[in-house]
Chain A
Amino acid sequence: MTLFDAFSGAASSLSGPLPDPSADAGWSAEHPKRVGFFTDTSVCIGCKACEVACKEWNLVPDDGTDASDLYRLTGMSYDNTGDLGASTWRHVAFIEDVRPHGTATTGHMPSGLPALGGSLPRDAASAPPDGGTVDLLALLPDTGAHGQQTPDDERDVRWLMSSDVCKHCTHAGCLDVCPTGALFRTEFGTVVVQDDICNGCGYCVPSCPYGVIDVRESDGGAHKCTLCYDRLGEGLEPACAKACPTNSIQFGDLDELQAAADARLAELHGRGVEEARLYGRDPDDGVGGDGAFFLLLDEPEVYGLPPDPIVTTRDLPEMWRNAALTALGLGAAAVAAFFTGGRR
């Protein structure tokens, strides 16, 4: 860190726990509490209302479709958005998890499939213990022609759904590397792009350890979730959380969300959902904890999330030191080239 001592403001906060990122960014002590999202994927039903509400409120254009691929069908699952991007600030991941019979535990089980082995609940997250979920598949012709896995005795299928979003990291790589100051830390502790400043250099794009922010082709600017900065200022909750019909997306003060998430995790563990876990909750992780964190029912990478993200600028002081030493070496070599040997 020695190189950065000269820039003490920047050096203090490249990694590690940081209780108040807004104060670290220079906001006065009267700034509001840090807010965030807790996305409880155990109750997500994959309705994508969050995606739609986000697009509508924030006037986000379509995802760059062309006439040949109007609906951008991915062909992999009911997810036809694919990933977060410049024009997708909420993305509902949809995982169709096929397992050998009896090994699947939780998640939404499409009905009409073989019952689970053991006494595990069909949907430990939301279903009543008597397993009274609506049997949607039974309403459809049982031919497999509608793209479903044909039920058989060997396999169980479960559906995992998760509404992904910008994590509003405590140590945000995108914000650190932005050369124009277009990305900034708000008084709410969130990370927002100022579109009238961004010059489209694209440095934020590969610097995000989650692959969230991207440059939009049509206007050349970098875009991502603002956590509805405009709504926050008016005391409203973000559009996605407002629209979520199952309260999978919860908005609030971050400390309260963390407490609620801890309670929810304990509840699920108590009900035997051992694979439930919190993701992005830990302030000791590689990004200092996320402002938007998740309860997942499988490994993060299954949802397209990095299992152990680290903000790239954690190693920046060492990188600058290496580059400075190498620059000295290059200069010395170029000078030395004039002095070794004698003959011209």
Chain B
Amino acid sequence: MTDANPAEMPERFRGRGRGGNREELQVPEAEFRSYYGRPIIKAPVWKNPDVPLYLFLGGLAGSSSVLAAMARATGRPTLRRAGRLGAAAGAVGGTVFLVHDLHRPRRFLHMLRVFKPTSPLSVGTWILSPFATFAAATAATEVTGWFRRTGDVTGVAAAVVGPALATYTAVLFSNTAVPTWHEAHRHLPILFGSSAAAAGGGFGLVFSSVRDNEPAARLAIAGAATELAIDEKMQRDLGMLADVYCKGRAKTLMRASKTCLVAGALGALVGRRRRWSAALSGLALMAGSALTRFGVFDAGIASANDPAHIVVPQRERIRQRQASTETATTPPDRTFA
């Protein structure tokens, strides 16, 4: 069973298919059929801005935790402090948004009843819980100055878990029936991971001294460049499913994200040695990262609401399967739809 690659679909299928039943029947080849143009799958009921912000904060926290642990090891105190506070703020803020997103928030602890590897949200809960604990403990030692040794240990523990917090959210999105998310399951982890690098690096640029901020700048620039590249590749590979990135609010958000990332990365490249330009660049990089999450979220909602995103790729998948079985020696069983 192979997935249809929407990019290989005949041109006539692309971007067509609105309108009534009668038109579809008269031009059956050019149009997909649907039930009065209604959506086939349900769009996510996740709240906006809670979930996109959670993705952004989780990414920021994850990469900040690694920067903080490395800054501690290499003696960059202001970057260490910024990273530790960023990791804790991101983890705690993200947890708040995640709980608020629930439609029954008082039952948040039900998440901890089970551990289910088939549920990215369950796995994510078990990533977020220890990370938030380690990051908050580390930040507490940083702020109070008590138990510094313990703080160093928990800081390393947070740094070990942190990158997983930044990338598991890609699985959270792609492990749905939403076509634009699911079919991007090879791209979204890289997109979210690089977006996390841009956010964490950007945070470090804003809050650490110019003497310490070089690793943050490097990470942010690398993250922004990777994010821009993988976004291009994702949209090319998605084929017709990428149309949701080319219209509506998702288009605006993704364009704004690109602008912020380019400006922030260039600013970090040439201006990290001046405090004000480093801070501005960092802000732009964080904004770019956040806008990406909002854009991907909006694109997924639009994809779920578009019956063409379900019918056209699935029809193409059936066609390819039939084409492959026709060449086989055993005739295909045509009993089932």
A296 within 8 Å of B (CB atoms): yes
User: Once the chains bind, are A208 and B41 in contact (CB under 8 Å)?
Assistant: yes
User: Once the chains bind, are A197 and B164 in contact (CB under 8 Å)?
Assistant: no
Known: A330-B62, A334-B70. A214 touches B33 (CB 8 A): no
Residues of B within 8 A of A315 (CB): 174-175, 182, 185
Known: A326-B167, A338-B215, A341-B214. A296 touches B107 (CB 8 A): no
- Contact of A215 (CB < 8 Å), options: B63, B103, B105, B314: B103
- Contact of A334 (CB < 8 Å), options: B103, B185, B197: B197
User: Once the chains bind, are A220 and B104 in contact (CB under 8 Å)?
Assistant: yes
B323 within 8 Å of A (CB atoms): no
Q: How many residues does chain B have at the interface if contact means C-beta atoms less than 8 Å apart?
A: 94
Range of interface residues on chain A? 35 or more
Residues of A within 8 A of B175 (CB): 177, 207, 312-313, 315-316, 319
Residues of A within 8 A of B35 (CB): 93, 95, 301-304
Nearest chain A CB to B44 CB, angstrom units: 4
A14 within 8 Å of B (CB atoms): yes
Nearest chain B CB to A77 CB, angstrom units: 7
A125-133, A136-144, A277-285 - the one binding chain B:
A277-285
Residues of B within 8 A of A26 (CB): none
User: Once the chains bind, are B121 and A179 in contact (CB under 8 Å)?
Assistant: yes
User: Once the chains bind, are B40 and A323 in contact (CB under 8 Å)?
Assistant: no
Q: Which residues B163-196 have CB closer than 8 A to chain A?
A: 163-164, 166-168, 170-172, 174-178, 182, 185-186, 189-190, 192-194, 196
A272 within 8 Å of B (CB atoms): no
A123 within 8 Å of B (CB atoms): no
Residues of B within 8 A of A324 (CB): 164, 167
Q: Which residues B21-43 have CB closer than 8 A to chain A?
A: 21-22, 25-26, 32-36, 38-43
A4 within 8 Å of B (CB atoms): yes
Residues on B close to A: CB < 8 A?
Answer: 1, 21-22, 25-26, 32-36, 38-46, 62-63, 66-67, 70-71, 73-74, 101-105, 107-108, 110-111, 113-114, 116-122, 125, 159-160, 162-164, 166-168, 170-172, 174-178, 182, 185-186, 189-190, 192-194, 196-197, 200-201, 211, 214-216, 218-219, 222-223, 300, 304, 307, 310-311, 314-315, 317-318, 335-337
Q: Which 4 A-B pairs have the closest CB atoms?
A: A200-B103, A304-B35, A220-B103, A199-B107
Residues on A close to B: CB < 8 A?
Answer: 4, 7, 10, 14, 74, 76-77, 82-83, 85, 93, 95-100, 173, 176-182, 197-203, 205-215, 220-221, 262, 265, 277-279, 281-282, 285-286, 296, 299-310, 312-313, 315-316, 318-320, 322-331, 333-335, 337-338, 340-341, 344
Given contact pairs A200-B102, A322-B189, enumerate 20 new A-B contacts (beta carbons under 8 Å): A10-B118, A176-B116, A177-B121, A181-B113, A182-B110, A203-B121, A205-B43, A206-B44, A211-B41, A215-B103, A221-B103, A286-B1, A306-B310, A307-B315, A309-B177, A312-B175, A319-B189, A324-B167, A334-B63, A338-B215
